[in-house]
Structure 1
Amino acid sequence: MGFTGQVQAQFQSDFQIKQNFDRDHAEVLEALKTIQTAEEVDEVIEMLNEMESRYRDNESLLNRVLYPETLQVRMTNLRELTQATGTHIAQRSEKGDTIVVLEERIAELTTDATRYQQRADSLNNELAAMRRSRDANAAQARRLRQELDTRDAFIIKMVDSIFVAYENVDLQSLSPAERRGLALEIDAQNVMGYIESVVDNNISFLNTHTELSTQDFLKLYGVQVEFNRMWENMGYDLAQIYVAEARRGERIGSIVEKVDEWEMLIDDAAWTTLSDAFAQNNIELAPFSNSLEFYTSLNTYLDEAIARAEDNGSDEEVAQYQRFADFWFGTVKPNWQEYLIDANLMTYENFNTIDEKLTEWKLQAQPTSYTMLILLGLAIVLILILLALWLMARGQTSGQTRERR
C-alpha cells in the first residue's frame, strides 16, 4: 500500500472512531431520558465504564475532533448527569408521596390551565371585536372582566400551588443539575407563559375600556396589587426553576416591563376616576395621584371645613356637610371601602379618622337656633331688670342716709 493509501486508511479509521464515539454518547443520553430505577442507573454507569475503557487509547484523537471540548470533559458531563438522575430517582423513592401528589396536582392544574387559556383566547377575541364596535358598553365590559378575573385568580393560585409543592421537595438542597431534572416534570413555557398572559390580558383590557366605574377600576387595582405581591415573592424563584439561564434575564425583564406598564395604566385610571367621582358630587378635593395624596387631600378638605364651621355655623355649612356625608356614607364606604383597603390604598384607621372628622364638622356646622337667641335675649332682659332694681335699691338707701344726717 502506497503512502496515499495509508493516509486514506488512517483517515477512515479516525473518522470511524469519531462516529462510534458519537453513537455511544447519544445512546447514553437517550438512556438517561427514560431510566426510572436505580438498577437502570447502574446499567448506564456500566456503559460509561465501557466507553472510557474503549476510547482510552484514542484520547488524543478525540480531543482534537471534539475541540474545544475533550474526551474527559464529555465523560465527566455524562457521569454528572447520571449521578443527578440517580439522586433524583433516590429522592423520588424517599419522597414518593410528595412527588406523586405534586405530579397529580400539576396534571390537574395543567388541564384546568389549558381550559382557561382557551377561554381567555375567546375573551380576547371578544375584546378585539368590542374595540371595533362603538356599541361596546360597561355591562359587557364588566362581564368580560369577571371572566378574566376568574382566570387571573386561577393562574395566581396555580403558581402558588406549584411553588409551595416544590418547596416541600426542599429545592434549596438540590444541586443545579438536580433542580433542572426536577423542572423537566413541568411544562416550563406554560408556567411563565400563564403568568405573562395575566399581565397581557389586563393591559389589553385597560387599553380597551376607559368607561368603567370607579368601583370597577378599584377592583382591578386590587388584582394588580395581588399579582405584584405574587411576582415579587415568587417570580424570580420560579424563573430560576423554569427558565434557562441564557434566557432568564431577558424573560424576567420582559415580564417586569409589562408589569410596570400594567401598574401605570391602572394607577392612572383609578385615581382619575376617583377624582372625577368626588368632583361630580361637588366636592372639590386638592389634586391627588397616589394613596398618600388622596388621604391628605381628604383630611385637608375636612380640616378646612371644620375651621370654617367653627367661625360661622350656618344652613349653608350644614348643606355642604350633608353633601359630603351623603357621598361618603352612601357611596364611598359601602361600595369602595373594601377595594380601597384590599389594594392598600387606605386602611381601616384612615376611614375611622375621616368618620370622626365628619362628626366634628356636623357639630360645628349647626347654626345657632332661634330658641337659643330668644333665651339669650330673655337672659339679657332679666339681667337688665335685676340691675335696675339693684340700682333703685341702692338709690333709696343713699337717700335715707342723707336724711338722718
Structure 2
Amino acid sequence: MNLFKLNYTGSLLALVTFVSISVSAHAQQVQSDYQIQQEYNQQVKEIKQSLESVTTLSEAQQVSDRIDSLQMEYVDHRTLINKAVYPETFEEQISELEEWALSAQDQLATIEQQQDKLQRMNSELTSYGKKLNNLNSHTDSLETAIQKSIASEKELSDQLRNYRENLERRDQLILSFIDSVVVTYEDLGLNAMTDMENVRSENELNTEESPLKMMRAIPSESLQLLEANQDLRPEDYLRMKAVQQEFSRMWSKVGTKFTQAYSVNPQQTKSEIEQSINQWEKGLNDRMWTSLQQSFQQADIEVQDFNNSSTLFEALNTYVEQGLTKSRQDSGNKTYQDYTKFADFWNTRVKEYWTENMIRTEVLSSSQIATIDQKTNRWASIAQPESNLMAYLLGVSLFTIAVLGFMLFREKSGKKA
C-alpha cells in the first residue's frame, strides 16, 4: 500500500513537471513567434524610411541589399509573417520593397547623369562669362580711346569700326550662351531641376561661378553699354534687339527653376533680374526707334514719325503711296529724284543691313517688306521721265522728208529748164 502511494505520488509529480515544461515551452514559442513578427515589421518600416530619404545611387543600392537580406532571413517564417501582415503576404511585401528600391535607383541614376550634364554646362557657361568679361574690358578700352582720341579722321573711323565689331562679337557670344542654356535645360527637363534641388547642397548650387551670376550681368551690362554709347547705327540696335529678345525668351523658359536652383532667395533674385531685363528692353527700344527715324531724315526722306512696328510700316507705306500718286500726276524729274532717293536708301541700306534682324525682331514682317518692294518697283515704272527719243525721231523724220522734198523739187525744176 505504501509502495502504491509512493508510485502514485511520483507519477503525479512527473506529470505536473511535464505539464509545466510543456506550458513553459509553449509560452516561449508564442513569445518567439511574436518577436519574429515584430522584428520583421520593424525592419520593413526602417527600409521604407530609408527609401524615402536616399540621396545617392550608392545609398539606394545599400537599401536594395538590405531587402535581399531581409528576404533570406525571414523566408522560413513566411507562414507566420503572412498571419501578421494579412491581407498582404510576405512575398507581396518583399516584391513591393524591391520595386520601390529599383525605382529609387533609376531616379537617382538619372539625376546623377543630369548633374554631370549640369556641371558641364556650368563649366561651359563660366567660360562664356570669362570671355564676356574680356570682351567688355576690351570694349571699355576702345570706348575710352575713342572719347580721348585726337587722331586723324581715318584712325578714328578705324577705332569706331573696331568698337562696333567688338560689340557684335559680344552679342554673338551672348547668343551662344543662350543656346547653351536652352539646349541643356531642354535636354535635362525642367522638372528634373526640382529633383536636383533636393539632392544637391546649397553651397554646391550657390557659388560665385554659377550661371546665375552671368544671368544677372548680361542685362545690366548691356544697358550700361547702351547708355554710354552715342556712335551706334540702326543695324547695331537691331542686332542688339534680337539678342535682348532671345535672352528674354530664354529667361521665361528657365528663369524660375534657375533661381530656385542657384539662389538662396529665389523670388527676390527672379524679380531683380526681370526688372533689369525690362530696363534693358526699354532703353534699347527708345534708342533703336530714334536711330531708325534719324537715318531716314539724314537720307532726306521725309517719312512721318514712328515709334513702333505698326507706325513704321504705316510711315513707309504712306511715303511710297504718296510718291506713286505724285508720279502719276507729274512724271517729271522731281518725282523721279524722289523715287531714286528712296529706292537707293531702301535697297542699299534697309534691305542690305536691316531686314534680317527686322524680321527676326518683328520690327517689320517679311510680307510687309515685300509690300514696300512691290510698290517701290511700281513707282519706278511710273516715275521714269518720258523718253525724248520719239520726239527726236519725229524731228529727224520730218527733216528727212523736207530734204527729200526739196531735192525732188529741184530735180523737177531742172528737167523743165
TM-score range, shorter chain: 0.5 to 0.7
CA drift of 1:358 comes to: 0.5
State the AA in 1 paired with 2:106.
S
Q: Name which of 148, 158, 163 aligns with 1:141.
A: 163
Contact 1:224–1:263 (CA under 8 A) maintained in structure 2: yes
Q: Name which of 215, 218, 239 aligns with 1:219.
A: 239
Contact 1:318–1:366 (CA under 8 A) maintained in structure 2: yes
Q: C-alpha separation between the residues in 1 aligned to 2:233 and 2:59? A: 59
Q: C-alpha separation between the residues in 2 aligned to 1:139 and 1:369? A: 44
Partner of 1:111: 123
Bigger radius of gyration, 1 or 2? 2
Contact 2:331–2:383 (CA under 8 A) maintained in structure 1: yes
Partner of 2:310: 292
Q: C-alpha separation between the residues in 2 aligned to 1:306 and 1:261? A: 41
Q: C-alpha separation between the residues in 1 aligned to 2:317 and 2:366? A: 15
Q: Name which of 328, 346, 354 aligns with 1:336.
A: 354
Q: C-alpha separation between the residues in 2 aligned to 1:191 and 1:104? A: 15
In structure 1, the gaps of 5 or more residues are: 1-27, 45-86, 378-405
Question: Structure 1 residues 370 and 142, CA, compared in 2 at 3 Å: closer, same or farther?
Answer: closer
Partner of 1:67: none
Partner of 1:306: 324
State the AA in 2 paired with 1:361.
W
Question: Structure 1 residues 94 and 102, CA, compared in 2 at 3 Å: closer, same or farther?
Answer: closer
1:93 aligns with 2:135: no
Question: Structure 1 residues 204 and 88, CA, compared in 2 at 3 Å: closer, same or farther?
Answer: farther
Question: Structure 1 residues 34 and 274, CA, compared in 2 at 3 Å: closer, same or farther?
Answer: same
Q: C-alpha separation between the residues in 2 aligned to 1:329 and 1:93? A: 59
Partner of 1:157: 179
| CA deviation profile, 1:257-308 (whole Å, cap 9, x unmatched) | 1111111121122112211211111111111111111111100111111111
In structure 2, the gaps of 5 or more residues are: 1-49, 67-99, 150-158, 396-417
State the AA in 1 paired with 2:341.
R
| CA deviation profile, 1:225-264 (whole Å, cap 9, x unmatched) | 11122122332343344444xx232212111111111111
Partner of 2:198: 181
> Where in structure 2 are the equivalents of 1:350-361 lying within 5 Å?
350-361=368-379
| CA deviation profile, 1:356-401 (whole Å, cap 9, x unmatched) | 1101211221334445678999xxxxxxxxxxxxxxxxxxxxxxxx
Q: Name which of 121, 125, 135 aligns with 2:137.
A: 125
| CA deviation profile, 1:308-360 (whole Å, cap 9, x unmatched) | 11111111111110111111111211211111111121111111100111012
Question: Structure 1 residues 155 and 92, CA, compared in 2 at 3 Å: closer, same or farther?
Answer: farther
Partner of 1:266: 284
Question: Structure 1 residues 88 and 183, CA, compared in 2 at 3 Å: closer, same or farther?
Answer: farther
Q: Name which of 296, 299, 305 aligns with 1:278.
A: 296
State the AA in 1 paired with 2:122.
T
Question: Structure 1 residues 318 and 230, CA, compared in 2 at 3 Å: closer, same or farther?
Answer: same
Q: C-alpha separation between the residues in 1 aligned to 2:318 and 2:379? A: 13
Contact 1:302–1:357 (CA under 8 A) maintained in structure 2: yes
Question: Structure 1 residues 91 and 278, CA, compared in 2 at 3 Å: closer, same or farther?
Answer: farther
Q: C-alpha separation between the residues in 2 aligned to 1:196 and 1:361? A: 50
> Where in structure 2 are the equivalents of 1:164-203 lying within 5 Å?
164-167=186-189, 170-171=191-192, 178=195, 180-182=197-199, 184=201, 187-188=205-206, 190-203=210-223
With normalisation by structure 1, the TM-score equals 0.64
Contact 1:239–1:252 (CA under 8 A) maintained in structure 2: yes
**RMSD across aligned positions (CA):** 3.5
Q: C-alpha separation between the residues in 2 aligned to 1:256 and 1:88? A: 42
State the AA in 2 paired with 1:203.
L
Question: Structure 1 residues 151 and 330, CA, compared in 2 at 3 Å: closer, same or farther?
Answer: closer
Please say which of residues 224-233 and 144-153 is displaced more in the overlay. 144-153
CA drift of 1:184 comes to: 4.6
Contact 1:321–1:365 (CA under 8 A) maintained in structure 2: yes
Number of aligned positions between the proteins: 300
Question: Structure 1 residues 370 and 124, CA, compared in 2 at 3 Å: closer, same or farther?
Answer: closer
1:366 aligns with 2:379: no
> Where in structure 2 are the equivalents of 1:12-51 lying within 5 Å?
36-38=58-60
Q: Name which of 238, 244, 257 aligns with 2:258.
A: 238
Contact 1:183–1:241 (CA under 8 A) maintained in structure 2: no
> Where in structure 2 are the equivalents of 1:1-12 lying within 5 Å?
none
| CA deviation profile, 1:125-151 (whole Å, cap 9, x unmatched) | 344445544247422322431342243
Contact 1:183–1:242 (CA under 8 A) maintained in structure 2: no
Q: C-alpha separation between the residues in 2 aligned to 1:350 and 1:88? A: 60
State the AA in 2 paired with 1:271.
W
1:206 aligns with 2:226: yes
Q: C-alpha separation between the residues in 2 aligned to 1:181 and 1:157? A: 26
State the AA in 2 paired with 1:93.
D
Contact 2:63–2:101 (CA under 8 A) maintained in structure 1: no
Percent of residue pairs identical? 23
Contact 1:313–1:367 (CA under 8 A) maintained in structure 2: yes
Question: Structure 1 residues 33 and 288, CA, compared in 2 at 3 Å: closer, same or farther?
Answer: same
CA drift of 1:120 comes to: 2.7
With normalisation by structure 2, the TM-score equals 0.62
Q: C-alpha separation between the residues in 1 aligned to 2:313 and 2:346? A: 14
